């Protein structure tokens, strides 16, 4: 009967309309929920950041004006041995520590010193025991690791983890830049205005005004007054 088929078509149209509306509402709900999550995350980042006037910022030996540790931080302890200059930004998920464990009394103070206007990349670690000194205007890429302590391994009858931990101070001169993934090992002394290539491992001394790359990092370019920048292998 024609009347019956018209009624069936109308019912099918109705079902399609309801299903479409349902899908639209679900998509709108997902968009709204997604946006709410992002806005909440931004607010958490804003209010979770550590600044000089926050409770956590005041735990540091020094926390200069305009400096910030972005949220979320990674492991941070013995902050009173850590000095941060002014206008410095420490990225999120950065580890900053002095000594082996919270509450430990360190031999030096400050143990870690970071200068003014520095930028420490996301996911980096600055793990000091004796002395890590980072000058002013030092920028690093993500996932840079700087430490001044090794583990002794000489005694083969004891686990390495239980042997002495020889420390050698580390310095990084003002105006330098460490590329992504750089590792700075105990005893490293990086001069001023030094570029360290991505994924390099710095073990020794790098003079002022040079570019060093590789593992161990070797100088590939250096600057002299009059000559400007020159490739080291062409000199």
Ligand X SMILES: CC(C)(COP(=O)(O)OP(=O)(O)OC[C@H]1O[C@@H](n2cnc3c(N)ncnc32)[C@H](O)[C@@H]1OP(=O)(O)O)[C@@H](O)C(=O)NCCC(=O)NCCS
Residues that bind ligand X (CB under 6 A): 141, 179-180, 195, 197-200, 211, 213-214, 220-221
* Of residues 85 and 197, the one with the C-beta less far from ligand X: 197
* Of residues 52 and 87, the one with the C-beta less far from ligand X: 87
CB of 197 to ligand X, least distance (A): 3
CB of 213 to ligand X, least distance (A): 4
Q: Phi and psi at residue 91, in whole multiples of 5°? A: -65, 175
* Of residues 73 and 141, the one with the C-beta less far from ligand X: 141
CB of 90 to ligand X, least distance (A): 14
Tokens of 16: 């399609």
CB of 182 to ligand X, least distance (A): 8
* Of residues 88 and 200, the one with the C-beta less far from ligand X: 200
């Amino acid at each position: 009967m024609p009347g019956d088929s018209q009624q069936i078509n109308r019912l099918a149209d109705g079902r399609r309309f309801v299903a479409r509306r349902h899908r639209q509402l679900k998509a709108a709900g997902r968009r709204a929920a997604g946006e709410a999550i992002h806005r909440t995350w931004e607010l958490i980042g804003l209010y979770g950041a550590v600044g000089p006037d926050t409770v956590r910022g005041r735990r540091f030996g020094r926390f200069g004006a305009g400096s910030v540790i972005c949220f979320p931080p990674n492991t941070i302890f013995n902050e009173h041995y850590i000095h941060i200059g002014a206008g410095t930004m420490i990225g999120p998920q950065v580890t900053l520590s002095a000594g082996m464990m919270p509450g430990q009394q360190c031999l030096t103070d400050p143990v870690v010193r970071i200068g003014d206007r520095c930028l420490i990349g996301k996911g980096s670690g600055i793990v000091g025991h004796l002395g890590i000194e980072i000058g002013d205007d030092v920028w690093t890429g993500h996932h840079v690791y700087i430490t001044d302590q090794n583990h002794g391994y000489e005694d083969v009858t004891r686990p390495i983890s239980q042997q002495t931990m020889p420390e050698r101070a580390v310095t990084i001169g003002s105006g330098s830049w460490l590329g992504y993934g750089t590792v700075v090992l105990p005893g490293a002394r990086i001069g001023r205005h030094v570029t360290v290539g991505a994924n390099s491992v710095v073990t020794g001394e790098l003079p002022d005004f040079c570019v060093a790359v590789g593992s161990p990092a070797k100088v590939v370019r250096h600057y002299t007054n009059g000559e400007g920048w020159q490739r080291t292998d062409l000199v």
